């Protein structure tokens, strides 16, 4: 299955490299881990 870009992806990219803790919450199999691994 192909990866589908999420609407929030651009906003989260600004926060990923910070030293603060962020919480990515959502239903099972919605792409949370896949997003973080890409």
Q: Where are the domains of the chain?
A: 1-38
DSSP 19: S
In angstroms, the CA 10 to CA 29 distance is: 20
For residue 27, give Cα distances in angstroms to 17, 31, 33: 24, 9, 12
This prediction's pTM: 0.48
Alpha-helical (H) ranges within 1-38 are 9-16, 32-37
pLDDT score of 27 = 92
Whether 36 shows a pLDDT value over 80: the answer reads no
pLDDT score of 28 = 93
pLDDT score of 15 = 79
pLDDT per residue over 1-32, tens digit each?
Answer: 677 777 878 887 787 778 888 888 889 988 88
CB 35 within 8 A of CB 4: no
Q: Find all residues with CB under 8 Å of 22, minimum gap 6, and list them.
A: 12, 15, 16
């Amino acid at each position: 299955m192909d990866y589908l870009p999420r609407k929030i992806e651009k906003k989260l990219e600004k926060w990923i490299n910070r030293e603060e803790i962020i919480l990515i919450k959502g239903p099972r199999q919605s792409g949370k881990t896949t997003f973080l691994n890409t």
